[in-house]
Structure 1
Amino acid sequence: MNQKALFIIFGGTGDLAYRKLYPALFNLYEKGYLKEDFAVIGTARRPWSNDHYHEVVMSAIEDAGRDSGRTNDDLPRKFANHFYYQSHNVDDVDHYVALRKLADELDEKYQLEGNRIFYLAMAPRFFGTIAGHLKDQQLLTDGDGFNRLIIEKPFGRDYPSAKELNDSISGSFKEEQIFRIDHYLGKEPIQSIAGLRFGNALFNSLWSKEHIDNIQITLAESLGVEERAGYYETAGAMRDMVQNHIMQIVSLLTMERPDVFDPSHLREKKIEAVENIQMYSKEEVDQNFVRGQYGEDEFKTQLAYRDEEGTDDNSQIETFVAGKLITHNPSLDGVPIYIRTGKRLTKKSTQVNIVFKNNDKNIFSDNPDEKLETNVLTMHIEPDQGFTLEFNTKTGNQGYKLSPVHLRYRKTAAEKARIPDAYEGLIRDALAGDKTNFAHWHEVAQAWKIMDVVRNTWDAETPDFPNYVSGSMGPQAADDLLTRDGREWVFNPRK
């Protein structure tokens, strides 16, 4: 469905706009979600001309490989002609006056009916300033048109800074107008969690504390910090991955079934799910959370984190986090959720493992102590996409010896190629006003409150880093976290 809109991108010369936003918008144009009645204003400090801006946009499309196989070679040029550039200082009132004049002209030229999306592809410290000027200088339209603000994570560094950030933009935009992008929520396999849970009687009936023993979430990366060392020194794995991506996945896995699957009902259940995660004391943090920092690999061919360019020689920032969360949502009350994420691990993989209870007596064995193999449902997020269900069946020609088998489904390369990029899908949703796959302030706030307890506990202690070898699956303490509960990590590529 075609949607008329004016996009105003603050940070239009930046890496995010070049790598993600321009290719995503081009895909929407190519597929007809955007037609001829749209326009884009890019703003930043650089003194670019419109012609130069058009060349940059077309280069972004080409570098993203989004134009391969097209039959219409004129399409990128036609698309880029909808882009206009204005040099802009976010602190200068006069620049907003000029921006309003250009926006009004484009609204009339393209008949956009006052629909405006403001995309803040800049550091969060500018969000409040920009939002305030947009309101004060009357860039927000009245009447039937919409005004929507898209902001990128990080949404603060802790709860106080997140609240300050939220307060700074909520004076100009209402909550229903704010679209907080977490690109993990734009991934099709993450969006499929609700469908798997609530769209299948088998899993819907088994998704309870009576049948699930534990849930495991792994976001493993094989690379180190690479060129992100400067950012990582201020963020670490907790702020970079746990508070946002992992907590969003936790909410989708543990929320109660909504009466209706729409943005408002889903938001209500996700907020409830995060609020029902147990808050820990300092002592409980020490028992249930582990942090790590990678050292050299066993052959000394890869640098330790502290030896990476841009890091502190005595850095105490974590590149690995593992933890045990407890949900008190009614249907899963008491079920532990084991989480882990880290850099320089054995293998890149994002997956969720649902481990079912294994209390049944093995009537097929003469040994009364022999247990059945545990049933496990694995959701593969990336690089594979699909699922694996492990269950037991009879093998061999004699007797009733049971062995585990795997029911597997993986998306083919062709199927994955047809899935929209996360940013493409999220921008399309923002155009439609669909907030299903965006984070609500209450989710963000509660996730920070939970993780602030962990962060504050760690900040009061000096860690013994580095404490895991590059190419391993993290520090031994992460395995011990499960071992003392009589469990083990399902995903173990070194086993």
Structure 2
Amino acid sequence: MGGNPLRDERDRRLPRIAGPCGLVLFGVTGDLATKKIMPAIYDLASRGLLPPGFSLVGFARRDWDDQDFSRIVHDAVREHARTEFREEVWAQLSDGLRFVSGEFSDDQAFARLRRTIEELDERRGTGGNHVFYLSIPPRYFGDVVGQLKANGLAEDSGSAWRRLVVEKPFGHDLASARELNEVLEGVFPAEAVFRIDHYLGKETVQNILTTRFANEMFEPIWNSRYVDHVQITMAEDGGIGGRAGYYDGIGAARDVIQNHLLQLLALVAMEEPTSFSAESLRVEKQKVLESVSLPRRLDLAAARGQYAAGWAGGEKVAGFLEEDGVRKTSTTESYAALRLDVDTRRWAGVPFYLRTGKRLGRRVTEVAVTFKRAPHLPFGPHATEELTHNALVIRVQPDEGMTLRFGSKVPGTALEIRDVTMDFAYGSSFAEASPEAYERLILDVLLGEPPLFPRQREVELSWQILDPLIAHWADRGRPEQYPSGGWGPAGADALLQRDGRAWRRP
């Protein structure tokens, strides 16, 4: 995969700086490219983590030249970059910007791309090291990787490397995921394919492992003897917006649970790895996903819904079926919740509840580990009336941090115990600003470091978990309606009530 001559492996505290390389971006006109990828590249350059000769090549159908592309990147950086815009950083980065116009099926366009890369190798010193980033719909992956192979752009040569980055969705079920993988790994070796799940690049997600394995106060109680249940939530306060063409037919379970939430579950439930190498982490995550099961009664194990017209954030909003581009007969869910079991010695009997939805009460992603009540409370009958379960809540976004809830005596002569919280927030605890997830992930691709990227086996295991539920829903008519600005359908509340529990209110 090629080493990084600018990184001293003897001291992991030194900045991770990419060696000579370039990136070719397919899909430069999309929101992801302009709002995330281009700004992240500038932020890496601004932090001194890219080589001086780094190059960025855009590929699209637009009739642009290099200057047109430079303006697009400039505007995206100005509007969305996390770090301050500095002319000297921009001057160095913009000197390596190139644009190639063409269709994905255009042989001549890819011949021009090859000549452009060869010119950058010579003028910018990229050394033949290039990442091909497919920020495009999966239906075009085959065309692009086929063209890269036909034009000799996919193979490593000598010490030079070539890598491929793809965005989710990684298929829409197990069969399509396997077909997609055959297309990708038929051209690039498995270790050169990086599947981006941007949640895994978030500092708070990475901190799950730090919290567990760097603190002796948590790991001894991280098991079924002490944990009552786990809730993993990704709630959005907005609707589908202009994504109807993608979202209708995909739905909340495929869009979020299959990747983001099952990856969070794996990190919460995995055993301690022998090291934090990519292979060690992957082995432990795969063990969890192999152990996950749905209850036998799928009608009692999951709930789904569509948001109805109503009020959200003080504004009148349309219902899911009223959104532009959504079929009036659509059975696509905008909310999904399910109960999963992890059939291991550590987690036997501990339910994991996952939920995600749009047009909910607020935007929040969190993991809540709820502990069992003390087996004996030596207090009076009224002293603990307001005491609930201890809980550790890991806030992934926004307001990144953690909250620990426990019981404390209320000041006064009477013995009364209530819940109190200890709060850790990244913003107030560290002077350093957290990098965006795409900064971390793009830099890892350039360095050839894969710990944060799911491999194909993890993708397939996730679909094996979800496919039976999707097939079950396909025969059950329309999802339940739920009010915009609320917290989901009544069926989702019943899912926990049957177990004598309730959803947290974030």
Shift of 1:400: 3.5
Mapping of residues 304-383 of structure 1, within 5 Å: 304-366=319-381, 373-383=388-398
1:361–1:371 CA contact under 8 A, matched in 2: no
> 1:381-421 deviations in whole A, cap 9, x for unaligned?
11111111111122233254322211111222795981111
Contact 1:10 1:43 in 2 (8 A): yes
Instruction: Give the letter for the 2:230 counterpart.
Output: I
- CA offset at residue 51 of structure 1? 1.2
TM-score of the superposed pair, with normalisation by structure 1: 0.94
State the shift of 1:441 in Å. 0.7
User: 5 Å matches for 1:155-194?
Assistant: 155-194=170-209
Structure 2 partner of 1:489 = 503
Counterpart residue type for residue 298 of structure 2: V
Render the CA deviation track for 1:226-283: whole Å, top value 9, x for unaligned.
22222211211111111111111111111111121221100111111111101455xx
Contact residue 13 and residue 42 of structure 1 kept, 8 A: no
| Structure 2 residue 158 is matched with structure 1 residue 143 | yes
C-alpha spacing 1:135/1:225, structure 2 compared with 1 (3 Å): same
CA deviation profile, 1:65-109 (whole Å, cap 9, x unmatched) = 5464x5x42432331121111112222333322222221221122
Letter in 2 for 1:436: P
Is 1:125 paired with 2:120? no
Secondary structure of 1:244's counterpart equals: helix
Structure 1 residue 364 displacement after superposition: 1.4
Deviations 1:124-166 (A, max 9, x none): 1111222222223211331111211100011111111111000
**What residue number does 1:419 align with?**
434
* Contact preservation (8 Å) 1:4, 1:113: yes
Deviates more, 1:410-419 or 1:244-253: 410-419
Aligned to 2:23: 7
RMSD of aligned C-alpha atoms? 2.1
The yes-or-no answer on 1:228 pairing with 2:239 is: no
Q: Report the CA distance between 1:185 and its aligned residue.
A: 0.9
Mapping 1:441-460, distance limit 5 Å: 441-460=456-475
Distance 1:103 1:223 in 2: 41
Q: How far off is 1:209 after superposition?
A: 1.0
Cα distance, 1:46–1:414 mapped onto 2, change above 3 Å: farther
CA contact (8 A) 1:358 1:372 kept: no
Q: Helix, strand or coil: the match of 1:474?
A: coil
Residues in 2 aligned to 1:391 and 1:340: alpha-carbon distance in whole angstroms: 24
- Aligned with residue 61 of structure 2, among 40, 45, 56: 45
- 1-side partners of 2:380 and 2:357: how far apart? 40
Distance across 2 between alignment mates of 1:40 and 1:341: 35
Asked whether the equivalents of residues 238 and 358 of structure 2 are also in contact (C-alpha less than 8 Å), the reply is yes
Corresponding residue to 2:308 among 295, 309, 316? 295
Tell me which residue corresponds to 1:78: 92
The one-letter code of the counterpart of 1:120 is L
Quote how far apart the aligned CAs of 1:211 are.
0.8
Percent identity (aligned):
36
TM-score calculated relative to the size of structure 2: 0.92
Equivalent residue of 1:374, what SS? coil
Report the AA paired with residue 142 of structure 1.
Answer: S
**Pairwise mapping of residues 255-266 of structure 1 onto structure 2 (< 5 A)?**
255-266=270-281
Flag structure 1 segments of 5+ consecutive residues without an equivalent.
none
Which letter maps to 1:292? G
Alpha-carbon distance between aligned partners in 1 of 2:185 and 2:473, rounded to the nearest angstrom: 32
The one-letter code matched in structure 1 to 2:58 is: G
Question: Structure 2: which 5+ runs fail to align?
Answer: 1-16
8 Å contact from structure 1 (residues 182, 245) kept in 2: yes
Give 3-state SS (helix, strand or coil) of 1:57's partner.
Answer: helix
Structure-2 separation of matches of 1:89 and 1:141: 25
Asked if the contact 2:52/2:92 (under 8 Å) is kept, the reply is: no
Q: Cα offset for 1:367?
A: 6.6
Change in Cα spacing, 1:46 to 1:185, as seen in structure 2 (3 Å) is same
**Bigger shift: residues 164-173 or 271-280:** 271-280
Farther off after superposition, 29-38 or 267-276: 29-38
| Greater mean alpha carbon deviation, residues 219-228 or residues 369-378 | 369-378
Distance 2:396 2:54 in 1: 33
C-alpha offsets along residues 7-44 of structure 1, whole Å, 9 cap, x if unaligned? Answer: 11122333322221111111111111113222121111
8 Å Cα contact 1:132-1:171 kept in structure 2: no
Task: Give the secondary-structure state (helix, strand or coil) at the position aligned to 1:365.
Answer: coil
Which amino acid is 2:412 matched to? N
Structure 1 residue identity aligned to 2:337: A
Q: Tell me how far apart the structure 2 counterparts of residues 347 and 99 of structure 1 sit (CA, whole Å).
A: 44
2:124 matched residue in structure 1: 110
Question: What SS class does the counterpart of residue 330 from structure 1 fall into?
Answer: coil
Distance 2:69 2:274 in 1: 47
- Using a 3 Å threshold, how does the CA distance of structure 1 residues 411 and 422 change in structure 2: closer, same or farther? same
The question of whether the paired residues in 2 share the 8 Å contact of 1:61 and 1:67 is answered with no
Q: 2:231 aligns with which of 197, 201, 216?
A: 216
Counterpart secondary structure, 2:131: strand
Contact 1:13 1:43 in 2 (8 A): no
Paired residues of 1:316 and 1:463 also in contact (CA < 8 A): yes
